[in-house]
Amino acid sequence: MMLHWILSLLILLVFQMFLSEWLSFILAVLFMVHPVHTEAVTGVVGRAEVLSAIFVLLALKCYEKGSGYRKITEWKYIHLTILMVVIATLCKEQGIAAVPICCAYEVLWLQRVTLWEGLHLAKMIFSKPRQLPSWFITSLIRMLFLLFTTVGLMALRILVMGAELPHFTAFDNPPASAPTPVRQLTQWYLLPLNAWILLYPFPLLCDYSMGTIPLIKSFADPRNLATMNFITVLSLLTGFALTGNTRTSRQACMALAFMAFPFLPASNLLFPVGFVIAERILYVPSLGFSMLVVIGLRRLLIHDRFKKLIYGALIITVALHAAKTARRNIDWKSEKSLFMAGLQITTMNAKIWNNVGHSYEREQRPEIALHFFKQASVDAHASEGSREDEAIDPKFLSIYVSMAAILRKNESRYPDALELYKKAIRMWNEYEDAYLNLGDLLVQMNQTDQAEQVFRKLLEFSPRSANGLYNMGVVEVRRKNNEGALSWFRQCLHFHPKHAMALYSLALIEDGKDGAYNPESLDRLLQVAEVEKHNYKIMTRIGLTYKKLGDLVNAEKYLNQAVQLNDTFGTALFNLGHIYRQQKEYERALQTLESFIKINRNHLNAWLLLGDIYVTHKGDYDAAWNAFEEAGRVEPGNVQVAHNFCVIMVKRQQYMKAKECLEELANQTDEEFVTVNLNKLNELIEKKQAEGDPLT
């Protein structure tokens, strides 16, 4: 938003080159409140448009400083112009439009060359002897220097960073892949459509792809009239601008330059782009459009009797635009609100239906999400004119995967989910995501033979598929065939050495193999941790491995990381509490174990460990008694729990009660530690009696 305000202020300052201060202010206000700018200003991607526009205007201002009406060149400002052009282009490719805008300023505004004068100059260039005016040579040198230096710098950028045309599908830009003359008719129709959006920016849309704008398939389509009218109006306006020798005609030239040059690269006329219409692309062209409005406004204000009416209309226009912009900003507050607003404009865009479905899916509202995904699949087929069982663009097969993901959350709907995966595969028999999800669901259903067939089919056309190889290992794990699983996990790592889940699974199997510790398993787990830095299960496993090795410092480090990532993960909490107890950090041990017990009150060992700390290290026998009572609730009849009650009686010097407790327990079990402690207690009692101490 701040960048947009800065640009509006810059417009007020820069456009006083062409307009009065008052008209420049009106231009800045019209530009600032235009609703079509919402995407560029609110969307993160659109900020490139705003930054580019700022540097385009700075380039023009620098060029103005470095040139003049038939005067010598001030090269320091021309050099600054080149710098501004390069920065504008690095922000957004359309920033290169600053070069033809500066050239238009030089020829049409500064040197006041009309079309007829231009033709006369061209004739002089090719005549002999050449008698070119001195100002022409100076202007030509300025423009050529600007042009070739900028092109050279941009060529260097392409050489260093690389560049290629964007890849897109027929769904992104249906006219671009349409046959002749459908392509040409539709692409030319997009020109008046863009102009209409600038003129009447009220039905705005976040995505114009797919079936939003139907193709013009016939010369009889009435929309061709809009194209013809637009071309007629544009031709008349261009003729007025180029042939006139007045300040108004030169102002119109600059307005048309600001409209045309930034728009042409994204117009689909020079080369196809990855969209049909994008509102953010109209950011700079709207400046030229607003300037045309201001020029027309000035012409109307000549008539005094209409002034109040004209200013009233202007105020209403600004107010309506400001209100629409505010409303559009609300639409852009979230992905869901943006795409829901889109569905109010068109219901023929599968992308919008699909994105709304994902929004509801994230909100844990699967049934509503499923409705939107189904409608997205219908629209995807409709936009290609195909039946529902025929192939569509692979990009939209993910809709079927999304629907299946919702259905498989309910076990009773597994068959429906399976059918959706199979349907996606029928439409594209090399759709890897569908194979992986289908196989995964079959494994979940414990149908390992069918899952193996699915993954083997995937590996036929993609033999190095990381997830295909990994999932073959998962199938063998389900079959309890660890040797087979190890083979598949190793194959996966052969082609994809950093595949996190393969490294993790291999480490788990090797670590537990033959009950012996495998040092390679820890190395693999540490490799996984480098990739999966936010995976609490990985951190927990590394911590447990270090604990097993007796390295309590590293064990504490990784278990602490796991708890920070997920403070409700019981395995990490319990083992961290156990480590604190081993390190004699009893307060931290108690805090950690109590946190663990809040999320799992039925963990026997946690209650036993908690009670042991209270008895042995804190001397809080009441707290220990309560802990052992909870342990007895979890596992009634547990010998260790009953024994611990006897121990508390000893600690409280209730020797006779403790003796009765241990004798009763000894009659119920043949555990050696019970007999040993009973004998020790009898010896203690005899000693106390010999010393004459009273016993309780």
* DSSP annotation string for 276-293: S--GGGGTTHHHHHHHHH
Instruction: For 232-243, give the secondary structure using H, E and C.
Output: HHHHHHHHHHHH
Tokens 């946690």 locate to: 606
Q: Span 92-116, mean pLDDT?
A: 89
pLDDT at 170: 63
Tokens 């359309």 locate to: 94
Tens-place pLDDT, residues 548-577: 888 999 999 999 999 999 988 899 999 999
pLDDT at 424: 87
CB 34 within 8 A of CB 284: no
Most confident of the following: 69-73, 344-348, 509-513, 601-605 = 601-605
256 domain residue, yes or no: yes
User: Is residue 262 very low, low, confident or very high in pLDDT (cuts 50, 70, 90)?
Assistant: very high
Tens-place pLDDT, residues 282-328: 999 999 999 999 999 998 888 778 888 999 999 999 999 999 999 99
pLDDT at 608: 92
> What does the buried/exposed string (b/e) look like for 397-407 if buried means 16 or more CB atoms within 10 Å of the residue's CB?
bbbbbbbbbbb
208 domain residue, yes or no: yes
pLDDT at 210: 76
Contacts of 426 (CB under 8 A, 6+ apart): 389
Angle of the 604-613 helix axis to the 570-582 helix axis, nearest 10: 30
199 domain residue, yes or no: yes
Residue 129: cis peptide before it, omega within 30 degrees of 0: yes
Please tell me the total count of domains within the chain: 1
Angle of the 536-549 helix axis to the 570-582 helix axis, nearest 10: 30
286 domain residue, yes or no: yes
- Which tops the pLDDT comparison, 522 or 473? 473
Contacts of 378 (CB under 8 A, 6+ apart): 350, 388
249 domain residue, yes or no: yes
User: Is residue 383 very low, low, confident or very high in pLDDT (cuts 50, 70, 90)?
Assistant: low
Q: What's the whole-model pTM score?
A: 0.69
474 domain residue, yes or no: no
**Six-digit token string for 630:** 């909870």
pLDDT at 514 over 60: no
Cα–Cα distance, 328 to 42 (Å, whole number): 10
233 domain residue, yes or no: yes
- The boundaries of the domain holding residue 238 are 169-298
Residue 181: cis peptide before it, omega within 30 degrees of 0: yes
636 domain residue, yes or no: no
Name the residue among 50, 63, 61, 59 with its Cα closest to residue 7.
50
